[in-house]
Amino acid sequence: MEFFRIRRDIPFMRHALVFNAISALTFVAAVFFLVTRGLHFSNEFTGGTVLEVAYTQAADLARTREVVEKMGFGEVQVQNFGTSHDVMIRLPVSKTTKAADMASNVFAELCHAESGQVADRQYTTPQGEQVSRKACEVAGAEPLKLSRTEFVGPSVGEELAWDGGKALIFVVLGIMAYLAIRFEWKFAVAAIIANLHDVVIILGFFAFFQWEFSLSVLAAVLAVLGYSVNESVVIFDRIREAFRKYRKMSTHEVIDHAITSTMSRTIITHGCTEMMVLSMLVFGGPTLHYFAIALTIGILFGIYSSVFVAAAIAMWLGVKREDLIKFSAAKEGDPNDPNSGAVV
Amino acid sequence: MNRYPLWKYVLLAFALVIGLVYTLPNLFGQSPAVQVSSGKVVVKVDGSLVGRVQQALDAAGLKPDYVQLEGNSVRARLADTDAQLKAKDVIGKALNADPADPSYIVALNLVSRSPQWLASLHALPMNLGLDLQGGVHFLMQVDMKAALTKKAESLTGDIRTLLRDKNVRHSGISRDGNTVTVNFRDEATRGTALGLLTDSLPDVQWTPQAGANGDLSLSGALKPAEAIKVQQAALKQNITTLHNRVNELGVAEPVIQQQGLDRVVVQLPGVQDTAKAKDIIGRTATLELRMVDDSAEAAAAATGSGPVPFGTERYVERGGRPLIVKRQVILTGDNLADAQPGFDDHQQPAVHLKVDAKGTRIMRDISRDNVGKRMAILLFEKGKGEVITAPVIRGELGASFQISGSMTTQEATDTALLLRAGSLAAPMEIIEERTIGPSLGADNIAKGFHSLTYGFAAIAVFMCLYYLLFGVFSTLALAFNLLMLVAMLSMMQATLTLPGIAAIALALGMAIDANVLINERVREELRNGSSPQAAIHAGYERAFATILDSNITTLIAGVALLAFGSGPVRGFAVVHCLGIVTSMFSAVMFSRGLVNLWYGRQKKLKSVSIGQIWRPAGAAGASTSTEVQPSDAS
């Protein structure tokens, strides 16, 4: 089985201008959306309270929203989460109520709306673990359960945002330094521009669709950055090898050759990783949903940017054979030696 | 040329065995158990409790898998939930004489079912994070300012007493934030005071200043090094207090750790009732100092032959002896500045106590009038009190004094701990809180596991179809990778979270890259006309440099996340970094080992099973459009 029956080098670099134009346009679009719509930060960054409640019947969002809004916490978000029975309620940081009590207050109010009472329940799980929790009871049944609560103080949220930014800067600088050492500074710059473009595109998607940007998504973005630099590295490696092997090829042709010969590996690897990520998207549930989406976008755009854009930018920066292959001066030969310069 | 020396195969086999051994505990699941922990601050859990629990279970005819001391609780693992419930009753009855006031808390719990021999090899299952187990997570911030303010206040009192005792006149002492200002009327007095204060209070930095209306003053603030020490001590004391509190909840594996300079993380897996947990954690115990009543009626009351005299109360000492103590409170824990274990003049274990200025005055008065009498130090929790220690007053006591006599070093340490547990050194506030229900936890595990399994299966099927035998080797290498990763996480006792499972999946997805690189290279070499043995050799050699480069860049991203991440992101980062390391090992060394084992010995290897080597029609080996013939492959 061979999917990639390529007879000759595909002249990619002839279209370098087109590739870069497309990527520049998408970049501008992404920045536009980021600036106008902004990212929809999760409460891990903004601070605030999150509650997840599970109703036994399909949840009536309108009623839930009414109950929560009446409590006067300011701007609240009520939405389905995963299934139609699960509702996620997001509350901003409140100055009046202690945030730690907000969750239990809201649960109590929702319980009253279902005409139930909040009571303590002790029970033993089938494995014998003793668990105690607050349950909302109406005549012995539980119309709604509290699955999860989370509260982040505003200072913690801000710190997390800062830490995320620092991590991103560290990754960028680290990768640039490594590539500059392994290859050459032009390659480092080209790789970073291409891959940061990836990151901005992912952020642009999140801004456009207003998907929730949480810490896991940030982790996914950084992982994607590291992963898509791989692509560029593989191609640069080939470029270096081709510079060595094919002395007569021009830079333009060398790059074409490098991209063509690594095409099969690029597509197959990305396909395999994408299979794993798709499995996460399908089976991973709502918690991993946005994480998997960020990875998917990163992988798909990664092929494009790392393969076409990085090499094109390197070419435009004027990368040459001499950048990668250091000729030692001693090879000039001793002028007094009659045999110098002879090649067998 | 494709032969691995024997030691490399031995190394691979060894790694495989280690991987299996350390991954095994994770597959065993959990089994019901009973955990016995201390119910009161004064009660300790140690080896002797193991014997008592064992006896109680034997008497009831229950056969636990094992009974052992783990950390500061005793755990007994049982076969099923019926035995577990029965054991709980039996142990409760045997250890707690009074069910309303239990000395020991007996809780139901789950422990791993892995056999003892694995545990003795230190092969334990991974810890499951809260999002996989369910439970409560608190992040508490210690109000350091309050700790420093408290210290400044006690300093103010000390200075006042000191200057009065030495007859140095001053015209006012005030405190502003954490700075104490003492005003003087003339330079000479200020000079004397400066000398005096620098000698007796070395922790404070004094600066002469010109006061508001021509007054001369000295302004003092804690030296920065001292301020840091106060904060660190406050944090440590709060953590100790939290430990004691959390023990009461009978939680399986609580996590109480310092985070940063002024924060404490408290994680309680399995607890669903946040309100109760918060209540218990926030509570403080109070310390009280009272005189012991040694009149004849009191002695009678102590033996039980008479009623408790008016104005006194009956408490129990450590060791069970009753003690009659006067109702009047002399000192409270607020006045106690510090308690440290140490040695007295005769090199006997002792506890050194420091009280603040108010406490000093009180101690001096009381001790002067009551030499030879006993003084009791009581700890009140949940409204009930217990005597920590009741020493005899030997002489006039001042700001620092010691309690010594007939205690071992362990007892001295314990007593000092209990005295410090009297109050939180500085107030704490909850700044982050998470609760996750247990069903959600189990759900998350299932989800993570499924996504991992199906993704792996999809990749495996594709690789085997596309690369045939080499694909099979690649899949085996990937499986080896997974094994090594899980084994390393178990060895490190890392905590597995849902992002951690995602990181495992991602690591596997990325790890296949190395194998694809190698396989494609080998195909290319074969396409260019190399002999199969040479193709395999060249494929692995050439691919290695690329694999190294690409993995290092991914590693940089992983390290950044590790350094700057916290909470679940950190779990993701740890697995990510480990995954890169194991993938390099498994993709390069393990798969090469397999290939060498299979193909290496055949000298005249005609073909390798790597799928279709497609050659373009025309000259075999010509694959480029330019005129230059590629140089020889090797």
Cβ atoms B204, B159 nearer than 8 A: no
Please tell me whether residues A237 and A315 are part of one structural domain.
Answer: yes
The predicted pLDDT at position B272 comes to: 60
The predicted pLDDT at position B633 comes to: 41
At A146, give phi and psi (nearest 5°). Answer: -95, 110
Examine the fold and report which residue of A152, A185, A211 is the final residue of a domain before the chain moves on.
A152
Residue at B412: amino acid letter: A
Nearest in space to B205 (alpha carbons), one of B188, B220, B225, B191: B220
Cβ atoms B473, B595 nearer than 8 A: yes
Query: Strand B428-436 and strand A144-152: pairing?
Result: antiparallel
Nearest-angstrom CA–CA distance, A217 and A88? 18
Confidence of residue A124 (pLDDT cuts 50, 70, 90): low
Contact between B444 and A175 using a beta-carbon 8 Å cutoff: no
Which of A103, A171, A276 lies at the smallest CB-CB distance from B560? A171
Spell out the alpha helix ranges (H) of B209-286: 224-248, 274-282
Spell out the alpha helix ranges (H) of B304-424: 357-369, 409-420
All residues of chain B having their beta carbon less than 8 Å from the beta carbon of residue A153 are 139, 141, 431-432
Per-residue tokens: B561: 């996340």
Contact between B506 and A155 using a beta-carbon 8 Å cutoff: no
Contact between A230 and B573 using a beta-carbon 8 Å cutoff: no
Of A240-244, B22-26, B606-610, least confident by mean pLDDT is: B606-610
Confidence of residue B619 (pLDDT cuts 50, 70, 90): very low
Please tell me whether residues A139 and A165 are part of one structural domain.
Answer: no
Nearest-angstrom CA–CA distance, A11 and A312? 12
Nearest-angstrom CA–CA distance, B181 and B558? 52
Cβ atoms A227, A191 nearer than 8 A: no
Say which CATH number the domain at A258 has.
1.20.1640.10
Per-residue tokens: B229: 């020490």
Cβ atoms B162, B200 nearer than 8 A: yes
A336 falls within a domain: no
Is residue B249 over pLDDT 70?
no
Q: What is the pTM of this model?
A: 0.71
Is residue A250 over pLDDT 90?
no
Nearest-angstrom CA–CA distance, B128 and B270? 11
Is residue B8 over pLDDT 60?
yes
Residue at A56: amino acid letter: T
Contact between B557 and A226 using a beta-carbon 8 Å cutoff: yes
The predicted pLDDT at position B17 comes to: 92
Of A90-99, B8-17, B127-136, B257-266, least confident by mean pLDDT is: A90-99
The predicted pLDDT at position B463 comes to: 92
Please tell me whether residues A299 and A313 are part of one structural domain.
Answer: yes
Percent of chain A exceeding pLDDT 70 equals 88
Per-residue tokens: B56: 């109680």
A37 falls within a domain: yes
Give Rg (Cα) of chain B: 35
pLDDT one-digit tens code per residue, B584-612: 888 888 888 888 888 877 777 777 777 77
Nearest in space to B438 (alpha carbons), one of B302, B551, B270, B266: B270
Nearest in space to B334 (alpha carbons), one of B270, B372, B300, B284: B284
A304 falls within a domain: yes
Q: Where do the structural domains in chain B lie, given as residue ranges?
A: 6-10+437-599, 30-113, 145-227, 286-420
Is residue B256 over pLDDT 80?
yes
Of A295-309, B77-91, B606-620, least confident by mean pLDDT is: B606-620
pLDDT one-digit tens code per residue, A310-342: 888 888 888 777 777 765 444 455 667 677 666
Nearest-angstrom CA–CA distance, A292 and A279? 9
All residues of chain A having their beta carbon less than 8 Å from the beta carbon of residue B613 are 2
- Give the SS3 label for residue B128: strand
Which of A100, A129, A168 lies at the smallest CB-CB distance from B270? A129
pLDDT greater at residue B214 or residue B361: B361
Q: How far is A336 from chain B (nearest CA, A)?
A: 33
Task: Confirm or reject CATH 2.60.40.420 for domain B6-10+437-599, answering yes or no.
Answer: no
pLDDT one-digit tens code per residue, B404-463: 777 777 777 777 766 766 556 677 777 887 777 767 777 888 888 888 899 999 999 999
pLDDT one-digit tens code per residue, B109-160: 777 777 777 777 778 788 888 778 778 888 888 878 877 777 777 777 777 7
* CA torsion, ordered A207, A209, A215, A217, to nearest 10 deg: -110
All residues of chain B having their beta carbon less than 8 Å from the beta carbon of residue A298 are none
CATH number, domain B30-113: 3.30.70.260
Confidence of residue B623 (pLDDT cuts 50, 70, 90): very low
Cβ atoms B253, B109 nearer than 8 A: no
Contact between A131 and B614 using a beta-carbon 8 Å cutoff: no
Question: What SS3 string covers B429-481?
Answer: EEEEEEEECHHHHHHHHHHHHHHHHHHHHHHHHHHHHHHHHHHHHHHHHHHHH
Of A279-293, B178-192, B375-389, least confident by mean pLDDT is: B375-389
pLDDT one-digit tens code per residue, B336-361: 777 778 888 888 888 888 887 778 88
Contact between A133 and B272 using a beta-carbon 8 Å cutoff: yes
Per-residue tokens: B313: 């109360």
Contact between B628 and A246 using a beta-carbon 8 Å cutoff: yes
Is residue A241 over pLDDT 70?
yes
A225 falls within a domain: yes
Which CATH number fits the domain B286-420, given the four candidates 3.30.590.10, 3.90.1300.10, 2.130.10.10, 3.30.1360.200? 3.30.1360.200
All residues of chain A having their beta carbon less than 8 Å from the beta carbon of residue B141 are 153
The predicted pLDDT at position B478 comes to: 93
Contact between A100 and B465 using a beta-carbon 8 Å cutoff: no
Please tell me whether residues A249 and A112 are part of one structural domain.
Answer: no
Is residue B476 over pLDDT 90?
yes
Please tell me whether residues A292 and A212 are part of one structural domain.
Answer: yes
Please tell me whether residues A174 and A223 are part of one structural domain.
Answer: yes
Residue at B56: amino acid letter: A
For B289, residues 6+ apart whose C-beta sits below 8 A from its C-beta are B329, B330, B331, B332, B375, B376, B377, B378
- Give the H or E element holding residue A274: helix A251-283
Nearest-angstrom CA–CA distance, B335 and B363? 11
Label residues A278-299 b or e (16+ Cβ within 10 Å = b).
bbbbebbbebbbbbbbbbbbbb
For A43, residues 6+ apart whose C-beta sits below 8 A from its C-beta are A49, A50, A90, A150, A152, A157
A296 falls within a domain: yes
All residues of chain A having their beta carbon less than 8 Å from the beta carbon of residue B107 are 130
Is residue B399 over pLDDT 80?
no
Residue at A9: amino acid letter: D
Say which CATH number the domain at A103 has.
3.30.70.3400
Please tell me whether residues A145 and A176 are part of one structural domain.
Answer: no
A333 falls within a domain: no
The predicted pLDDT at position B625 comes to: 34
Contact between A131 and B465 using a beta-carbon 8 Å cutoff: no
The label of the residue with tokens 């982790």 reads: A219
Number of domains in chain A: 2
Interface pTM (ipTM) of the complex? 0.77
Task: Please count the residues of chain B.
Answer: 634
Nearest in space to A100 (alpha carbons), one of B161, B304, B432: B432
Calculate the alpha carbon distances from B569 to A44, B133, B274, B422, B501 in Å.
12, 17, 24, 37, 12
* Average model confidence (pLDDT) across chain A: 80
Q: Which of B470, B475, B624 to mutate to test the interface with A (most CBs of A within 10 A)?
A: B624
| Closest residue in chain B to residue A9, using alpha carbons only | B624
- Give the H or E element holding residue B549: helix B532-564
Q: How far is B192 from chain A (nearest CA, A)?
A: 47
A165 falls within a domain: yes
The predicted pLDDT at position A121 comes to: 66
Q: Which of A265, A267, A281 to mutate to test the interface with B (most CBs of B within 10 A)?
A: A265
* Average model confidence (pLDDT) across chain B: 79
If you average pLDDT over residues A63-74, what whole number do you get?
Answer: 80
A186 falls within a domain: yes
Please tell me whether residues A184 and A134 are part of one structural domain.
Answer: no
* CA torsion, ordered A225, A227, A233, A238, to nearest 10 deg: -140
Contact between B565 and A153 using a beta-carbon 8 Å cutoff: no
Contact between B455 and A5 using a beta-carbon 8 Å cutoff: no
pLDDT one-digit tens code per residue, B49-108: 888 888 888 888 888 888 888 767 788 888 877 777 788 888 888 888 777 667 787 777
Please tell me whether residues A169 and A216 are part of one structural domain.
Answer: yes
Q: A29-38, A224-233, B70-79 — which one is most confidently predicted on average?
A: A29-38
Give Rg (Cα) of chain A: 28
- Give the SS3 label for residue B285: coil
The label of the residue with tokens 């500045």 reads: B337
Residue at A121: amino acid letter: R
Which of B559, B611, B631 lies at the smallest CB-CB distance from A1? B611
Cβ atoms B259, B265 nearer than 8 A: yes
Q: A141-145, B166-170, B519-523 — which one is most confidently predicted on average?
A: B519-523
Nearest in space to B629 (alpha carbons), one of B531, B529, B546, B537: B529
At B68, give phi and psi (nearest 5°). Answer: -150, 165
Residue at A8: amino acid letter: R
All residues of chain A having their beta carbon less than 8 Å from the beta carbon of residue B560 are 167-168, 170-171, 174, 222
Q: How far is B610 from chain A (nearest CA, A)?
A: 9
- Give the SS3 label for residue A202: helix
Query: Strand B73-77 and strand A144-152: pairing?
Result: unpaired
Nearest-angstrom CA–CA distance, A302 and B336? 64
Query: Strand A77-81 and strand A83-91: pairing?
Result: antiparallel
Is residue B544 over pLDDT 80?
yes
Strand partners, B392: B374
pLDDT greater at residue B601 or residue A288: A288
Please tell me whether residues A244 and A166 are part of one structural domain.
Answer: yes
The predicted pLDDT at position B632 comes to: 42
Q: A237-251, B207-221, B619-633 — which one is most confidently predicted on average?
A: A237-251
CATH number, domain B145-227: 3.30.1370
For B204, residues 6+ apart whose C-beta sits below 8 A from its C-beta are B155, B180, B197, B220, B221, B222, B223, B226
pLDDT one-digit tens code per residue, A162-189: 888 888 888 888 888 888 888 888 888 8
Query: Strand B495-496 and strand B127-128: pairing?
Result: parallel
Is residue B486 over pLDDT 80?
yes
Domain range enclosing A128: 48-152
Please tell me whether residues A305 and A197 are part of one structural domain.
Answer: yes
* CA torsion, ordered B592, B598, B604, B610, to nearest 10 deg: -70
**Quick one: DSSP state of residue B292?**
B
Percent of chain B exceeding pLDDT 90 equals 7
The predicted pLDDT at position B458 comes to: 92
Is residue A129 over pLDDT 70?
no
The predicted pLDDT at position B327 comes to: 77
